Amino acid sequence: MSVVRAAHDRAVTTLTLDSPANRNALSSALVGELAEGLARCGADDDVRGVVLTHTGNTFCSGADLRDPPHPDALVGLLRRIVELPKPVVARVTGHVRAGGLGLLGACDIAVSSGEASFAFTEVRIGVAPAVISLPLLPRTDPRALARYYLTGERFDAVEAVRTGLLTATGDDADVVLAPILDGLRRSSPQGLAETKRLLTAKVLEAFDQDAAALTALSAELFSSAQAREGMTAFLERRDPAWVV
């Protein structure tokens, strides 16, 4: 059964994460299907822009701890979003955690409804937001990232806009999204592609310089004893051993 659905309307393709049973976690299947969907969008001359959205009350809960993607696969997915010659716009109407924030960071524009919430929860299970830092560090307020990376605190959509994680928020995500999609539909494919190339140059530099090291760090941390305890505690719905 597919976990990513595609629909097309007036030059915009919507890719919907559709795995609500695990809160749209980044499983190997979801990462693979999303990468394939983006590749098709990139090769389709009828696609002017891509909307990335979700079913259920969670946009993406981060890595699927029962079926995690290899860090290389996640790097490839994030880079595909950044390199795609069409703008990618995230539409969020629910919760976003851990690796899901990497998807937002890779997108060119990200909007949400007011009930959305966000948290970098990696430190609470014994790992670090390593791979997702590739698109996030060049685009997001460093002092805010320091706080939320280190504490795992939850924050709201207004704070996400302030930090640069989101572009805009409002009561209705579709109302916020409407003028953005209208702008993309009025823009030329060449103009969009070359403008995106300008905007993503520094992000791609981070991938070129740091992807190998951060991939290795992610793999090392996920195989560590503390991560095993953290992930086991999460799945068992208890505090890990280090909580005081």
Q: Which residues pair with 139 in a beta bridge?
A: none
Backbone angles phi and psi of 169, in degrees to 5? -140, 165
Domain count, the chain: 1
- Using DSSP's 3-state secondary structure scheme, residue 139 falls into coil
| 242 CB-contact burial (10 Å; exposed 0-12 / middle 13-18 / buried 19+) | exposed
Is 38 a domain residue? yes
Looking up residue 44, the CATH number of its domain turns out to be 3.90.226.10
Is 191 a domain residue? no
- Could you tell me the pTM of the whole model? 0.96
Which residues span the domain enclosing 51?
A: 4-172
CB neighbourhood size of 204 (10 A) = 16
Mean pLDDT per block of 10 residues along the chain (244 residues) reads 96 98 96 98 98 98 90 96 98 97 98 97 97 97 98 98 98 98 98 98 98 97 96 95 96
pLDDT at 68: 85
Is 78 a domain residue? yes
Rounded CA separation 72/216 (Å): 9
Long-range contacts formed by 197-204: CB under 8 A, 24+ apart: 197/85, 199/108, 200/82, 200/83, 200/108, 202/138, 203/82, 203/106, 203/134, 203/135, 203/138, 203/139, 204/79, 204/82, 204/83
Is 224 a domain residue? no
Is 145 a domain residue? yes
Is 15 a domain residue? yes
How many CA atoms does the CB half-sphere of 86 hold within 13 Å? 25
